[in-house]
Structure 1
Amino acid sequence: MSMPQDATIVLDIGKTNVKLVLVDAVGAVLAERRSPNEILDDGLYPHHDTERIWDWMLTAMKEFAGMAQVGAIVPVTHGATAALVDDDGLVLPVLDYEYELPASQQAHYAVQRPPYSATYSPQLPAGLNLGRQLAWQAQAFPKQFRRARHILMYPQYWAWRLSGIAAGEVTSLGCHTDLWQPSRQQYSSLVERMGWSRLFPALRPAWAPLNVLNPELAQLTGLPADCRVLCGIHDSNASLLRHLGAGADAASPAVLSTGTWVIAAAPGMPLDGLREQADMLANSNALGQAVACMRFMGGREFAELAGADAQPCGIEDLQTLIEQKTMALPCFSNAGGPFAGRAGAVVGPAPGGGLQRYALATLYCVLMSDYCLSALGVSSAVVVEGSFTGNPWFAPLLAALRPQQQIGSTDDASGTTCGAWMLHHWGRAPAARGKTAEPLQLAGLAEYRQRWLDAL
């Protein structure tokens, strides 16, 4: 039997896990490998273990080379991350955005950063504003910083290692970095003020082939010599990609991209309603268009509430928590969101066992998602992408809270995979796969939501 032709390898680096996915020419997953995304605490500061990811990735690629004829490799990564490189490699480790940068630097950076009205990047904790990371690295490690030839957004760092070509791309630049003006589609004043303009490579579309795979890597992995390396994309924007058929039109569905972060994206909604204090922001989609967004660290918070031994609950567990008025109030992460700075709390009778903890985490993430959609003014259909599509109650509960809207979910627990496939097959849309959620009618759910909102 002949091998599948023109397959795609997706390197998907999320904040929690790294995946390598082999997808055939019609968008079906042929194979998938996973590994934890580990942070190293040694050296200058907490940083990503890029060499472990690299070695693991090449081993998996060698395995994939025997399964299909691969036509392209597409890197997709989380945001708020960049690599400083010279011609030989990293000049500084790739900083973990959850590292608490020195408080003494915050006041200095606050004077340097552009206004929210220009970048729609809210001021965020730790290193979630990439501009703050870079400013601190330039100040703390001037010798290494001066060696840098390029500042590469994280997807393009991996594309550079695979292809040898440095490129920039708007989706990672426009992800609460302070470096980009989404509405103007140009760099912010910070880039020129800091003297970084020369370090950012020429912008390329996310779907642009940069080069063929480095010949040594092709030989090492067994991948074809003509396998192309694409520029790559920010992960939430990969999830949004299949829903851009209507461009920036207000009729486009809102998208809930779920994973470590839950990001509500509302194409077509005006930016003038965004509020910095609520962690509302404008991302840039793959076409360069500004997209109003709001987010919270839902995957991390779900895990915190559900606990390590939690398992999917039944309807009766959800109903019990609603009846006994047990609810979780934000927030359970210190990484931003609309209620940043508040300490999370569980009120009412404590959940009994893993099933009820899963139910509590589900209700909490549904309520937070509903809150974000309402704050954005979303009245169109909503599509759930990502890991929460594996939760049988998430979309049905959201549908029950928003009965005037169609709530759907895709069949892809990682919307990033579909988006990456689309970059390789630009102009082709995957077959419409997914389902519309039937509202889960639970007694007292609307009152439960109102009680939760009042408690905020």
Structure 2
Amino acid sequence: MNKTPVVAIFDVGKTNKKLFLFDRQYAVVWERTERFDEATDDDGDPCEDLDHLSRWLETALAEVLALPQFEVQAVNFSAYGASYVYIGADSKPVGCLYNYLKSLPDPIKKQFYERYGPPDELSVQTASPALGSLNVGLMLYRVKYDKPTLYAQIRYALHLPQYLSYLITGQPRADLTSLGCHTLLWDFRQQRYHGWVVQEKLDELQAPIVTADTVSRVNRGDAALYVGTGLHDSSAALIPYLASFDEPFVLISTGTWCISLNPFNTDPLTAEELQYDCLCYLTYQGKPVKASRLFAGHEHEQQVRRLAAHFGVATDIYRRVAYDPDLIRQLQADPLPTRQPRSGTRPQVSMNPITFADRDLTLFPTYELAYHQLMLDIVAQQLISTELVLHQRPGNRPPVRRLFVDGGFSHNPIYMGLLAEAFPRVEVWAASVAQATALGAALAIHPHWNPQPIPTNLIALKRCWPGASVSGAV
């Protein structure tokens, strides 16, 4: 029996843990998804069940290595960022995989910023908005001063993607896509650990930095595997686009967060942009990616529930609402007033103070009209967010001419039609990539296991025109 050569990719999200096998044409030929219950950390807060995750990875790898129809030749990993796994002197994890949503004690923050300068300055230098525990460097700083017994046991602090690789290779590694992910650790100007990291000697707990295409040769039974070092998921999802397009583009990756990514904008972040939730990632090649974030997917989810309750319809009825240009013109010509927002009643979505949460639903005679207003409000915020990264100072590189949208909103006809109207000088495309994050992790190590050229059809595209509809829904 001829076995199909494949690469195995572990794609670890906060909710779903996935394992994919890709063939040499990067088609998914086998997959498995698991969901784990959360554990609690030593403070009683929710956290990743690291023991369960580690056992699952080992068991799942053994399972696919035993599949008779496939020959696993390589393995790589993508995972959510802003999370450290602490490794002790005995090469085993110590402590907990703390949740990046965990609150950071005010005394720790006060102590840190009194020592190392105001948040605005550090944020500009590290391309990291002040995000509390989401700045993983601050979490390690907290462990040093708040949990000294645990800190004394740490030999390496490994970002989660690199810990997954470490489970297979036994080799501690650091990777720029994780270091460059709003960690507060990396000085984007000097391209090295920031001075505060060195002063606190936290750099002594970091593993050697390698490029994201680095692999280790590992034997597992009869299999000789090329094992990658893992990537931060947002950076991994960009790789299929970088592999497919040479001309400048912006990608809006939509989900709970709508993240606008411009890998061709090399302008340094400004203090104003950081206030508007801009940041920088690093690509797998170590180049900065200017990005802006919008909590639009979360806003959409909350407001369609509110609409469903008000109109007495199913929550997912919005999926059957088609783009209606007459309703759009009606709303634009005669804007409905908004009520005064009540403090603490809605999440902060963007720098635009008006959100659909401020609107009085009794002013809308139909669900369809209200839903069109919701999408108008979201796209108005998306315009502001994406404009922050779309343009750069004049230089040798041509301007961005294409805007790709992937994820849930790429199937929403109203979002896509309004987005095309908002950016009349840019081609707007709905993009579809099968498992983009996992695919990116596979492409990062392509030369080591796949002798064939990277396929040219990795991304399916559909051009969207102002007011034109696209099939499907969020």
Q: Same fold (TM over 0.5)?
A: yes
Aligned residue in 1 for 2:31: 32
* 2:87 maps to amino acid: V
Aligned to 2:137: 131
C-alpha distance in structure 1 between counterparts of 2:374 and 2:42, whole Å: 36
What is the CA–CA distance in structure 2 between the aligned matches of 1:340 and 1:195, rounded to whole Å?
40
Map Cα deviations across residues 319-365 of structure 1 (whole Å, 9 max, x no partner): 7587466799999975x764499997241436799988876765555
User: 2:75 is matched with which residue: 57, 73, 76?
Assistant: 73
Structure 1 residue aligned with 2:111? 108
Distance in 1 separating the partners of 2:337 and 2:58: 45
Q: CA deviation at 1:158?
A: 0.6
Mapped to 1, the partners of 2:152 and 2:38 lie a distance apart of 25
Match of 1:149 among 151, 155, 165: 155
Aligned partner of 2:203 in structure 1 is 197
Residues of 1 paired with 2:101 and 2:460: CA distance? Answer: 34
Q: Distance in 1 between matches of 2:265 and 2:438?
A: 26
State the percentage of identical aligned residues: 25
Which residue of structure 2 lines up, in the alignment, with residue 266 of structure 1? 262
Cα deviation code 1:267-319 (max 9, x no counterpart):
22243453221111121111111121111234433333334942523215897
- Within 1, Cα distance between the matches of 2:344 and 2:442? 35
Distance in 2, Cα, partners of 1:339 & 1:30: 43
Structure 1 letter corresponding to 2:70: A
| TM-align CA RMSD | 3.5
SS of aligned partner of 1:177: coil
The structural deviation recorded for 1:98 is: 0.9
Map of 2:472 onto structure 1: none
Change (3 A) 1:77 1:353: farther
- 1:53: which partner in 2? 53
Matched residue, 1:368: 381
Residue number among 95, 114, 117 corresponding to 2:124 in the alignment: 117
Equivalents in 2 of 1:153, 1:272: separation in Å? Answer: 25
Distance 1:332 1:26 in 2: 48
Give, as a single letter, the amino acid of the residue that structure 2 aligns with 1:313.
R
The verdict on how the C-alpha distance between 1:151 and 1:405 changes in structure 2, with shifts beyond 3 A counting, is same
Does 1:439 find its partner at 2:465?
Answer: yes
Q: Is 267-276 or 401-410 further displaced after alignment? A: 267-276
Which digits, 9 at most, give the CA deviation of each residue in 1:17-68, with x for residues without a partner? 3222221111101122223365333533432122223333444444434152
* CA–CA separation in structure 2 for the residues paired with 1:123 and 1:342: 24
| Residue ranges of structure 1 left out of the alignment (5+ in a row) | 444-456
Could you list the runs of 5+ residues in structure 2 that have no partner in the other structure?
A: 306-313, 392-399, 470-474
Counterpart of 2:42 in structure 1 is 43
Could you tell me which residue of structure 2 aligns to residue 420 of structure 1?
A: 441
C-alpha distance in 2 between matches for 1:395 and 1:331: 30
8 Å contact from structure 1 (residues 410, 435) kept in 2: yes
1:347 aligns to 2:340 (yes or no): no
Cα deviation for residue 97 of structure 1 reads: 0.7
Could you give the per-residue CA deviations for residues 368-408 of structure 1, whole angstroms, max 9, x where no partner exists?
A: 33221112244431122344445455434322321211122
Contact kept in structure 2, 1:313 and 1:358, CA below 8 Å: no
Cα deviation 1:174-193 (Å, max 9, x = unaligned)? 11111002243211112102
Q: Per the alignment, in what secondary structure is the counterpart of residue 300 of structure 2? A: helix
Is the CA contact 1:182–1:289 (under 8 Å) kept in the aligned structure 2? no
How far apart are the structure 2 equivalents of 1:235 and 1:363?
Answer: 29
Q: State the one-letter code of the partner of 1:430.
A: P
Question: How far apart, CA to CA, are the structure 2 residues paired with 1:370 and 1:73?
Answer: 39
Please tell me the residue identity of whatever aligns with 1:180: W
Match of 2:235 in 1: 237
Partners of 2:325 and 2:85 in 1: CA distance: 44
Structure-2 separation of matches of 1:172 and 1:270 = 19
The separation in 2 between residues aligned to 1:297 and 1:15, in whole angstroms, is 17
Q: Report deviation, 1:4.
A: 1.4
Query: Partner amino acid for 1:22?
Result: L
Among 291, 295, 302, which residue is 1:297 paired with? Answer: 295
Q: 1:51 to 1:409 in 2, by over 3 A?
A: farther
- CA contact under 8 A between 1:383 and 1:408: conserved in structure 2? yes
Whole-angstrom distance in 1 between the partners of 2:81 and 2:346: 17
Equivalent residue pairs, number: 430
TM-score (norm 1): 0.82
